[in-house]
Amino acid sequence: KPLQYVVDEQGRWSMSCLACHGGQVGEQVLPGLPNAHLALQDLMDDLAALRKLQGRPSLLGDALWRSVPLGETHGTTNAVMFSVALLTYRDKDLNVVLPREAPRFRHHDLDAPPWWNVARRSTLYLDGFTPKAHRPLMQFLLVPTNGPARLKEWEDDFRDILAYIESVKAPRWPFEAPDVGLVQQGKAVFERACASCHGTYGEGGRYAERRVPIDQLGTDRLRFESIVPAQRRIYADSWLTGYDPTGVVVETTGYVAPPLAGIWASAPYLHNGSVPTLWHLLHPDQRPKAWRRAPAPAYDVRRGGLEVLEQAEAVPAGLDGWTRRSWFDTSKPGKSAGGHLFPQALAPAEKDAVLAYLLTL
């Protein structure tokens, strides 16, 4: 049975959290690692095609997934909009209701965050909009068949799930160790240039959980703009917060700079997965406009990240769905590889040293 799904006695499959949060680096399978092989849209397309070949009727979901994309690139998902859409059809007690008007959603793909950094945070999600607790994790269960009574039954399970997530440790660099002297140089540069946002590591390490204004950060704005204050208030006033909006950020200013433990494993980078390696993150002018990764278990040891099989100025035309989604197209809305230009202030030798240091976190 696959790790990413639960299969019951009747042979019915249900997706688990590990579908998005269980990945592979080289030969290692790592629970809590973003799944860079995720291909949910292809799965749904194939199931719809299979039903057609078998002469079976289409399901409501077949039409739904054509209007609500599951992911435009392998390894990324539209998960944030799933949760927004599901909560839009609930009242504050999580009973199913119809909204007064058809909601509008700005669909976009994200790269799932690694679990091993959750323990260092007091808030959840890219913009840190809600205090860390078990109930926020349950919003992804809000399909119509799960009512308030069932959610309450599962609450203790999700307390355990959050405890498990917080217990996951960052993996250690498994390849040849970088030069010790270079690592020490990189640590000094990192603590001078990067630590105020991303924290310090080792004994006595500190992390400020700093929210960086979007205009200063400069990365893609679509995630920042996609959840409007009215949608955030629906969440803030609901059972998911215990009807306590205290601490929920209704009007956000930017994204929270994440901790970087195990960053060598969590490629691709930026919140939308638009940058394939740490080297590209440190060299903004070299980030590819369109790229696709080499098949697993390939890993770029030199650059620290996904091995790029092919890159181009634009995605080739005339591709089938699977092949098109194997390319990352940074020209699409929500998928820009721009921003986080802070490494431009570093000298080339300093960038090499910081890269060596990042591999040791």
Contact at 8 Å (CB) between 124 and 177? no
pLDDT digits (tens, 9 = 90+) for 134-191: 999 999 899 888 999 999 999 999 999 999 999 999 999 999 999 999 999 999 999 9
pLDDT digits (tens, 9 = 90+) for 281-308: 999 999 999 999 998 889 999 999 999 9
Of 361, 337, 360, the C-alpha closest to 76 is 337
Percentage with pLDDT > 70 across the chain: 98
Contact at 8 Å (CB) between 198 and 260? yes
Give the span between the Cα atoms of 137 and 159, in whole angstroms.
Answer: 10
Cis peptide before 268 (omega within 30 of 0): yes
Residue 5 pLDDT > 90: no
Average pLDDT of the chain is 93
pLDDT of residue 287: 98
Q: What confidence category does residue 83 fall into, taking pLDDT thresholds of 50, 70 and 90?
A: confident
Q: DSSP secondary-structure letter at 120? A: G
Contact at 8 Å (CB) between 263 and 361? yes
- Please state the length of the chain: 361
pLDDT of residue 248: 96
Residue 1 pLDDT > 70: no
Query: What is the mean predicted confidence (pLDDT) over 230-246?
Result: 94
Q: Which of 57-61, 62-66, 167-171, 205-209 has the lowest mean pLDDT?
A: 62-66
Give the span between the Cα atoms of 173 and 166, in whole angstroms.
Answer: 20
> Can you spell out the DSSP letters for 297-309?
T--BTTTTBPPEE
pTM for the predicted model, two decimal places: 0.93
Residue 86 pLDDT > 70: yes
User: Residue for token digits 């793909």?
Assistant: 109
